[in-house]
Copies of this chain bind each other. A is one copy, B any other.
Amino acid sequence: MTIAYLGPAGTFTEAALRQVDPDGNDHLPASSVPAALAAVREGRASSAVVPIENSVEGGVSATLDAVATGPELRILAEMLVPIRFDLVALEDKPLTAIRAVSTHSHAWAQVRQWAEASIPQAEYIPASSTAAGALGLLGATAAPYDAAICAPNVSEAHPELVVLAENIGDNPEAVTRFVHLGGPDSALPGRTDADRTTLVIPLWEDRAGALMEILEQFATRGVNLSRIESRPTGNYLGDYFFSVDIDGHIEDERVAEALVGLRRICPTTRFLGSYARADHKPATVASHHTDGAFTQARDWVAGLRAQKS
Contact = CB atoms under 8 A, between A and B. Distances in A.
Contact of A171 (B127, B206, B230, B234): B234
A14 interface: no
B216 A216 contact: yes
A109 interface: yes
Contacts of A56: 232, 234
A215 B260 CA distance: 19
A84 to B, nearest CB: 16
Contacts of A236: 55, 173
Nearest to A293: B264
Contact of A55 (B223, B237, B265, B294): B237
A243 B238 CA distance: 13
Given A228-B230, A264-B294, A250 B185 contact: no
Given A61-B58, A211-B215, A238-B226, A304 B188 contact: yes
Contact of A216 (B61, B220, B263): B220
Interface string A132-156: 0000000000001000000000000
Interface string A212-224: 1101111111011
Interface string A262-288: 011101000100000000000000001
Nearest to A62: B109
A307 B219 contact: no
A57 B230 CA distance: 11
Interface residues of A, number: 85
Contact of A250 (B34, B109, B260, B304): B304
A301 interface: yes
Copies assembled:
4
A240 to B, nearest CB: 8
A207 B234 contact: no
A297 interface: yes
Contact of A220 (B127, B217, B228, B301): B217
Interface string A185-204: 11110000000000000000
Interface of A: 31, 34, 53-59, 61-62, 105, 109, 112, 124-128, 144, 171, 173-175, 177, 185-188, 206-209, 211-213, 215-221, 223-232, 234-238, 240, 250-251, 256-257, 259-261, 263-265, 267, 271, 288-289, 293-294, 296-298, 300-301, 304-305, 307-309
21 contacts: A55-B236, A55-B237, A58-B230, A62-B109, A187-B308, A208-B215, A208-B224, A216-B216, A217-B220, A220-B220, A227-B238, A250-B304, A251-B305, A259-B297, A259-B301, A260-B297, A260-B298, A260-B300, A260-B301, A263-B297, A264-B293
